[in-house]
């Protein structure tokens, strides 16, 4: 199944993002089989991230939850919340490189 994850960050914890960015990117790299697309969300490109959006492939929500709690950003308290939404692609046979 495919899921869209929308993370909301604590805005007073930008130093957590800076301190753990390398570990977070390494962790993302190790989970590319499940985390198909990931990136930060910003109102303007030069502004600090408000959170992130991921596309995840997993057997179910329990697997998604088990995955995200191992992310250094989650473990160190950057994330305030996450929405986990089932995603149905409009064109399921179409692949789109990002």
Instruction: Name the residue among 33, 41, 26 with its Cα closest to residue 73.
Output: 26
Tell me: the pLDDT tens digits for 75-91?
A: 999 999 999 999 998 88
pTM equals 0.91
Domains of the chain: 2-86 (3.30.70.1060)
Whole-number average pLDDT of the chain: 95
Tell me: the pLDDT tens digits for 1-58?
A: 999 999 999 999 999 999 999 999 999 999 999 999 999 999 999 999 999 999 999 9
Which three-class secondary structure state does DSSP give residue 81? strand
User: Which DSSP letter does residue 18 get?
Assistant: H
Q: How many H helices and E strands in the chain? A: 3, 4
Can you say whether the dihedral through the CA atoms of 23, 64, 95, 50 is positive or negative? negative
For the chain, the maximum distance between any two Cα atoms, rounded to a whole number of angstroms, is 42
């Amino acid at each position: 199944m495919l899921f869209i994850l929308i993370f909301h960050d604590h805005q007073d914890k930008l130093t957590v993002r800076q301190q753990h960015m390398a570990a977070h990117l390494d962790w993302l790299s190790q989970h590319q089989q499940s985390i198909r697309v990931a990136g930060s969300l910003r109102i303007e490109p030069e502004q600090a991230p408000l959170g992130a959006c991921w596309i995840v492939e997993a057997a179910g929500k329990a697997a998604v939850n088990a995955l995200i709690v191992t992310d250094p950003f989650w473990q160190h308290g950057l994330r305030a919340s996450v929405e986990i939404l089932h995603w149905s692609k409009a064109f399921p046979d179409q692949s789109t490189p990002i």
